[in-house]
Amino acid sequence: MPESSAVPALSALPPGVVTLDDHERAAQARLDAATWAYVHGGAGDELTAGRNRQAWQARSLVPRVLRDLTGGHTRTTLLGRTLAHPILIAPTAFHRLVHPDGELATAYAAAAQGAGLVLSAQATVTLESVATAIGADATRGPLWFQLYWQRARDAVRQLVARAEAAGYEAIVLTVDASSSGARDRERRAGFQLPPGITAVNLKPAPTTSAPTPGDSGLFTRLPEGAPTWSDIAWLRSITRLPIVLKGILHEADARQAVHEGAAAIIVSNHGGRTLDTTPATATVLPRLADAVGGAVPLLVDGGIRRGTDVAKALALGASAVLIGRPVIYGLANAGAIGVAHVLRLLRDEFEIAMALCGCRTVADLSADVLLQA
């Protein structure tokens, strides 16, 4: 379907899909092997990708009983907004790879479920069309634009200005991908973007100077393409939107992010797709929460597949969570309905986990309900 169509086509959910892992299996059966390698794979030996999932599972929830849950709810606040629940869609590239409705379907589903949406810089529909599609929906969650630094500052300026004009409410600068990871599974499968699937919001990058013999190609290109701490102040100076830094794992970086004026931090290892063997996000989250001491909200992503994982993330100090791959699986399985289903399942499971832990509001989720093993 062309991206200009007003209403995306809906598809039916495959039978027997009642969890996010069911969505994963159904999507694998539906997608060709190379596309599956791209959306599912991680970097290197995929240790980080596996650790993310295992680290949530390794923590136990210790229920509290006989508490009064009258008036309980999952609402929370984030950057000045009230959210129906603390679940956002992480930025993931190229949604039209898995469904012709692409990011428009994802956006409709996010809005229908009151979930925040972080649109990837590598979206396959225009950022304006997504904002137009859901901008006026009164019950939608926050709409943020994810930025990959561009070689020319002017290109950054133009993208940020477009996002601001279109009504995006924050800029999420991804800082953990100055180089793409060694994605072996993807290379083995010979993945290539099919014709017609492109990052339509980005201008083709200007060609870089060829490395001289003996130079590292990567490090020769980096200074032009990768932002540094000194760029954060400049980025803040060109927009009134809050800047969220995505991809921080180290306490010192978290402290510096606060110092440089970040409005929030996303604790993330890119779903294990950049540097392999990093710690799981659940493992570092409590340390980062200590390091920032509540100065800015922390969000977390990586391996969140259950409502119990969401409860654990909040208990460990996150204000909200983001989910990446399951959204693509839902999209592949049934377009907007599939994504809405993924979000609904996670919301319902999260509500059950809160109630059974004796938590009436998200503020009641603390380390008190957690056991490490």
Ligand X SMILES: Cc1cc2nc3c(=O)[nH]c(=O)nc-3n(C[C@H](O)[C@H](O)[C@H](O)COP(=O)(O)O)c2cc1C
Does residue 120 interact with ligand X by CB under 6 A? yes
For ligand X, which stretch binds (CB under 6 A), given 54-62, 115-123, 338-346, 352-360? 115-123
Which one is catalytic: 23, 85, 95, 270?
270
Nearer CB in complex with ligand X: 324/330: 324
Residue 323 token pair: 């989910």
- The answer to whether the CB of 235 falls within 8 A of the CB of 243 is yes
Nearer CB in complex with ligand X: 79/90: 90
The least CB distance from residue 357 to ligand X, in Å, is 22
270 is catalytic: yes
Determine the size of the site formed for ligand X (CB under 6 A).
24
Does residue 185 interact with ligand X by CB under 6 A? no
Fill in the per-residue mask, 306 to 325: x = in contact with ligand X (CB under 6 A), - = not in contact: -----------------xxx
3-state DSSP call for residue 83? strand
Among 122, 308, 319, 333, binds ligand X (CB under 6 A): 122
The least CB distance from residue 265 to ligand X, in Å, is 13
239-268: string of b/e by CB count within 10 Å (b at 16+)? bebbbbbbbbbeeebbbebbebebbbbbbb
Residue 322 token pair: 């983001």
| Contacts (CB under 6 A) with ligand X, residues 267-296 | 268, 270-271, 273
3-state DSSP call for residue 145? strand
The least CB distance from residue 49 to ligand X, in Å, is 7
| Contacts (CB under 6 A) with ligand X, residues 88-107 | 90-93
Query: Which three-class secondary structure string do you get for 217-245?
Result: HHHHHHHHHCCCHHHHHHHHHCCCCCEEE
d(CA 36, CA 279): 24
Nearer CB in complex with ligand X: 74/120: 120
User: Is residue 66 packed enough to be buried (19+ CB in 10 Å), middle (13-18) or exposed (0-12)?
Assistant: exposed
Nearer CB in complex with ligand X: 86/91: 91
Among 76, 113, 146, 319, binds ligand X (CB under 6 A): 146
Nearer CB in complex with ligand X: 43/112: 43
* 307-315 vs 325-356: helix crossing angle, rounded to 10: 70
d(CA 268, CA 192): 25
Place of tokens 């999420």: 172
Q: Which residues bind ligand X (CB under 6 A)?
A: 39, 52, 90-93, 120-122, 146, 174, 246, 268, 270-271, 273, 301-304, 323-325, 328
